[in-house]
Amino acid sequence: MTDLKTAPLGILALRVTTGALFLIHGLTKLFVFTPAGTAGYFESIGLPGALGWLTMLAEIGGGLALILGIKARLVSLALVPVLLGAAVFGHGAAGFNWSNAGGGWEYPVMWAIVQAALAALGDGPYALVPTARRA
């Protein structure tokens, strides 16, 4: 049975934690790898370089939105394909285990499932701009 007293705190913890991780990943692409380097990496694995820019923006913007609770349900859902793309294109060749050289696909797939679960749970009561609910 779901504990309705603590469930909102669980949603908040998922939102803030995954939001912070997305923000860190996006800022690493921006400041460490640089946008040009990120685009170059995407091109090196057979994807358009522009997708590197879009991924970086999705991670930074999505991370901030999750932390603040701005349309978190929709943001979580939108980030699922980004994570699945990372699993297939960025880490698929490294095998399952994240500890493998090049990082396997288990971590981004787990993260995609967490984002899908967060989308199913909803924004939580501490969201700044909740996603509208249908009756």
pTM for the whole structure: 0.93
Per-residue pLDDT for 135 more than 80? no
pLDDT > 90: percent of the chain? 87
Overall average pLDDT of the 11-20 stretch: 97
Q: Which of 53, 60, 112 is nearest to 86 (CA)?
A: 112
Measured between alpha carbons, how far is 41 from 89 in angstroms, rounded to an integer? Answer: 11
Helices (H), 1-135: 7-31, 34-44, 49-68, 72-85, 106-121
**What is the pLDDT confidence band of residue 134, given thresholds at 50, 70 and 90?**
low
